[in-house]
Structure 1
Amino acid sequence: MATLRQLEYLVAIVDEGSFTRAAERLHITQPGLSHQFQALEREVGGPLLERLPRAVRLTPAGRAMLPHARAALADAERATTAARRATGVAGGELHLATLYSISFGVLPGALGIWRDRHPGVRVRLFEHRRAEDLAAAMAAGQADIALGPPPTAWEGPIRYVGTEEFLVITHAGDPVTSTDQTPGIRLADLADREWVHFTPDSGLAGILDRACAAAGFHPKIAVRTEQAPAAANYAAAGLGPTLVPANTIPPHFAGALLRPDPPVSRQLTAYTRTGPDPVAAAFLDILTDQALLMPTHIRRRLRLTERAPQSRR
């Protein structure tokens, strides 16, 4: 049976791209690494890597084994952490995986509270562009908790965190902000505009495309960016409207905020591969209580805007 050490060698060789660099990373001799790796290949009954002049390439058997090797190493690390927590050790790490937009908008408040309550437990954050990538990384054992949209066909525990609302952002002088619709806007009314869009590998790109498709058009593109805060700033500068999570808008933001009609939103969940240990469960409780899916400054600003048209009548 393959040992954890041998699986660690496989992962290191693949990540480093060579036996020499893997041996340096693991602080062992290259002959020792090669010997253990050959023993692993004998155990599985065939080659796991093809040795090229300047690199290595996984064989079909290696590609099949690699995700399981990563998951086994991650599980072993979490087992050690859980045992230390159970024996009263205050240190260790909480591994958390999420999407870039959620990391910016939802997590700061919850992580600040976590830091105050558990200063000895470090947080290691893994950020992904798309919900599918997040779920795949979580299935491979990357983290203790994943925070993102509900994963498809997930077999582990899932906790509902809340519903994240999206807002249309445009520049403060945009004519649409002076209509009786304010602070709401039908996306169809913006069909002829060029939009501040997102790079195709960003999950936010899919949300914007689906919302526009539901309104009957495909958005023309003025510029693409990867991050929601950058998109909001470009929209505020007049490059075109965009659609971003409300919790990514900072206080005193210069652009105009409009609620799409009908609303655009996404559910957020926290999910784990197995039942969370006490420390992970404590973070889930903080996250559920503190996640600011619609920050107070945004709620206040939208309410004030809603009253403005009435005051002009």
Structure 2
Amino acid sequence: MKKSIIFLLSICVQHATIGQQSTKEADSLKSIGLLTPALEKYGQAYFANPTPELSYEIASTCALLWTTQMRDTAFYFLDRALVEDQTLKVLYDPQFLSLIDDPRWKEMETGQIKKYEAKNGAIQNEPFARELFKMIIKDQGFMYVGNIERRKYIQNGGHFSSPSIFPVLAMEERNMKENQETLLQLLDKYGWPTASAVTEYAAAGAALIINHSSYELRSKYFPLLKEAFEKGEAQPLRFAKMQDRLLVEEGKEQLYGTQIKFENLVKTPYPIENPQSVDQRRAKIGLGPLKPYLKERFEIDWDVAQEK
């Protein structure tokens, strides 16, 4: 009996090891745009260890493939991934852009909101929150393709690797325009969304969309975002990004180091006011140090000694 238990445990360990290796390989393949091979590796890992996390990865990878069959598979695995999930993460995950117009998405959305509310209390303005979640996905939905192509753009010395990026950029622009029109109507109806009214995640969507609009709209709505932030009703990063963007557009130095430019195909922050004290300013509004932020988000090595 003891030998049988040891044998079974060794098999479980072997399967777990195989699953972990396949997951790492799948993540790497997905990061460079090889979705079908990534899906195969996620499938191998799932066979070895069928976890909700792997179900989610399979669902998101299938959604990125955009075909009808893959959408069906995406919903199949989403159902399994979300059984015990009480968060709203999936509702603003841009990987699922291809799913949001499907009737099954609304059913899933309703289910997640109910589970979230059972744990956290009712969302005060649920209709507004639902719209904001979808706008976040529409705003960010082509970033997967865009980011892969932007990396290749740098590697190729300032040339995109495929002309397919241009219709993607056009669709991205169209989504942003539609989002802006919808959001302005909702702002007229409800006012600026606060975290307590629509959840922190949905409220961040309004700032995201306005920050991707025009200078005129940013100037108009930034005071409302600032007021919400000062009351603890908005994310620090959203406040910092809009503040910095407005300053850069006005020819001034940014305060928090969130705005990036290309110089000779090299990413670098726009000029920062008193860069040696930027971490102090960031900490004051609830943000971490700038150096790891730039490295993790933009692969920028930034070394400016900070005042203590």
TM-score normalised by structure 1 residue count: 0.26
Q: Which has the higher contact order (CA 8 A, sep 6+)?
A: 1
Name the structure where strand makes up a greater proportion of residues.
Answer: 1
Name the structure where helix makes up a greater proportion of residues.
Answer: 2
Higher Rg of the two aligned structures: 1
